[in-house]
Structure 1
Amino acid sequence: MLTGMHIAVLGGDARQLEIIRKLTELDAKISLVGFEQLDHAFTGATKEKMSEIDFSMMDAIILPVPGTNLQGEIETIFSNEKVVLTEEILSRTPDHCTIYSGITNDYLSGIVDASKRDLIQLFERDDVAIYNSIPTVEGTIMMAIQHTDFTIHGSNIVILGLGRVGMSVARTFHHLGGRVKVGARKTEHLARASEMGLDSFQLGQLEKHVGQCDICINTIPAPIITPRVIAKMPSHILVIDLASKPGGTDFRFAEKRGIKALLAPGLPGIVAPKTAGQILANVLCKLMDDRNKGKGSST
């Protein structure tokens, strides 16, 4: 239980609704910012503006998965209010106040460090990333079907990266009958691809492996699909970039060559917001409960 905890939920998309629902079930007191257009009411949750919140009473602040932009602005799809998180706001919170975000950037990390608060990036956790890979894979399949005129079965598919998301994507497209090749840097990832029965290659050889490719799926948040690589691709190829913005693809050059390249970060929140929200809610509440117990609160 989270009885006695006061939590601010700042902006976000439909995933936040599952988080709010779970927090109220566990008896937390919640201040909602950026939700005034939301018709649904949650017992124990109050819609407020940033200027109305007493941040000195906050035990935790929950941000949307993207956190903030580089100006501190927070995404709010249920509001027209401009919500900005600043160092001054964080400095008003109690020392034990913890900030939760999916990911971070230089701005968010900077104001958290300056205010000496703890920041927990949920998407850095293996459990969240692995659970999230399930709706990510389903969304990737959906995009592949929508944007091609051929079946996945029998297609030549190159998947870049064999991390937590890449592994799930590779396994699923292989089971759907795709002829999957995995490009990776780490020798252990190449070994894992071999163990899974997949062909593999070093990323430095990517140009040699895209000439007959029908679908290329990137999971690496670095410039991987460069103009040199794109120049070797067939015109019918579909590129799906799952890496966080700005992705690993030169989209300008792909468009110039007439190649369809789609940036698709955050697929879980698009194709399965309820499930994606439940994943985040379960992990968040467990973390908060553990921290609450750690500071001696009774739950």
Structure 2
Amino acid sequence: MLTGMHIAIIGGDARQLEIIRKFTEMDAKLSLIGFDQLDHGFTGATKGKMEEVDFSEFDAIILPVSGTSDKGEVDTIFSNETIRLTEEQLKNTPAHCTVYSGISNEYLENCTKDAQRNLIKLFERDDVAIYNSIPTVEGTIMMVIQNTDITIHQSNLIVLGLGRVGMSVARTFAALGANVKVGARRTEHLARISEMGLKPFHISELENEVCDTDVCINTIPYQVLTASVLSKMPSHTLIIDLASKPGGTDFRYAEKRGIKAFLAPGLPGIVAPKTAGKIVANVLSSLLLELNEKREESDS
């Protein structure tokens, strides 16, 4: 149980509702910031604004999967107000207060570091990323079906990157009958691709591999689908970029060539917010139980 813990949940989307539900069941005290348009009432949870809440009371701060913008702004679908997390706010929290976010950026890293608060990036954990790859793959399949006029079966499909998401994407599309090639850099990843029965190639050879591509799915978080690569692709190619913003695609040049290209880093929250929220909530509850135990030990 999380009895005695005061947790701030700042912004987010429908996934946060599962986190709120889980924490109220575990008897935590919750301050919901950026939820003024949320009609649902949760026992033990109160709504507030950044300027109204007392940060000195918070044992933990939960940010959305996307974390903050480069200016510290926090996205929320439950409010029209601009929400911004600052270093000063974090400095006002207790020393043990921990910040949890899906991903991070330079702003959030610097804020937590300068405030000397611990930052946990959930999507760097293998368990979260692997579980989250399931709704990601399902959403990707949906997008491919909606945006092509061919079957996945016997289509020529390229997956870029063999991380936790890339592996799930490649395996699933191969199981659906696609001709799957996978581009990677690391030799052990190239070996694993071969072991999976798929065709491996080094990313440096990407320009030579895209000439017959029907669908390209990118998971690499830096620009690999450059104008030079895109110029070698058929104009009917569909690109789905699953990497975090700004993605790994030159979207300007893709549009110029008439290539459909979508940046879709938040698919789980779109296609299966309940499941995606439960994944994050279960991991967060375990981490907060550990934090609560340490807090109680230090108090005693």
Q: Take 1:81 and 1:139, find their aligned partners in 2: how far apart are those partners?
A: 29
Q: Which residue is equivalent to 1:137?
A: 137
Is the aligned partner of 1:210 residue 2:228?
A: no
Which range is displaced more, 287-296 or 229-238? 287-296
Is the aligned partner of 1:227 residue 2:224?
A: no
Deviation at residue 296 of structure 1 after TM alignment: 2.8
Cα distance per residue 1:113-141 (max 9 Å; x no partner): 01000000000100000000000000000
Cα distance per residue 1:181-203 (max 9 Å; x no partner): 00000111111111110011000
User: Secondary structure at 2:296's aligned position in 1?
Assistant: coil
Q: Take 1:11 and 1:289, find their aligned partners in 2: how far apart are those partners?
A: 22
Deviation at residue 295 of structure 1 after TM alignment: 2.8
Where structure 1 has 5 or more consecutive residues not aligned to the other structure, the ranges are: none
Deviation at residue 83 of structure 1 after TM alignment: 1.0
Q: Which residue is equivalent to 2:201?
A: 201
Is the aligned partner of 1:10 residue 2:10?
A: yes
Cα distance per residue 1:30-61 (max 9 Å; x no partner): 00011111110000000111121111110000
Cα distance per residue 1:152-209 (max 9 Å; x no partner): 0000001000110000000000000000000000111111111110011000000111
TM-score of the pair, normalised by structure 2: 0.98
> Where do residues 80-229 of structure 1 align in structure 2 (5 Å cutoff)?
80-229=80-229
**Paired residue type of 2:69:** N
**Paired residue type of 2:105:** N
> Where do residues 35-50 of structure 1 align in structure 2 (5 Å cutoff)?
35-50=35-50
Deviation at residue 80 of structure 1 after TM alignment: 1.4
Q: Take 2:266 and 2:254, find their aligned partners in 1: how far apart are those partners?
A: 21
Q: Take 2:102 and 2:28, find their aligned partners in 1: how far apart are those partners?
A: 21
What root-mean-square deviation, in Å, do the aligned CA atoms of Structure 1 and Structure 2 show?
A: 0.9
Q: Which residue is equivalent to 2:243?
A: 243
User: Secondary structure at 1:158's aligned position in 2?
Assistant: strand
Cα distance per residue 1:73-100 (max 9 Å; x no partner): 1111101122111011001000000000
Q: Take 1:229 and 1:82, find their aligned partners in 2: how far apart are those partners?
A: 39
**Paired residue type of 1:175:** A
Give the fraction of aligned pairs with identical amino acids, expressed as a percent: 70
User: Secondary structure at 1:50's aligned position in 2?
Assistant: coil
**Paired residue type of 1:62:** I
User: Secondary structure at 2:51's aligned position in 1?
Assistant: helix
Aligned residues: 298
Where structure 2 has 5 or more consecutive residues not aligned to the other structure, the ranges are: none
User: Secondary structure at 1:141's aligned position in 2?
Assistant: helix
Q: Which residue is equivalent to 1:267?
A: 267
Deviation at residue 294 of structure 1 after TM alignment: 2.1
Deviation at residue 105 of structure 1 after TM alignment: 0.7
Deviation at residue 243 of structure 1 after TM alignment: 0.3
**Paired residue type of 1:145:** I
User: Secondary structure at 2:239's aligned position in 1?
Assistant: strand
Q: Take 2:106 and 2:19, find their aligned partners in 1: how far apart are those partners?
A: 25
Q: Take 1:251 and 1:46, find their aligned partners in 2: how far apart are those partners?
A: 42
User: Secondary structure at 1:289's aligned position in 2?
Assistant: helix
User: Secondary structure at 2:150's aligned position in 1?
Assistant: coil
**Paired residue type of 2:20:** I
Q: Take 1:40 and 1:235, find their aligned partners in 2: how far apart are those partners?
A: 46
Q: Take 1:296 and 1:31, find their aligned partners in 2: how far apart are those partners?
A: 21
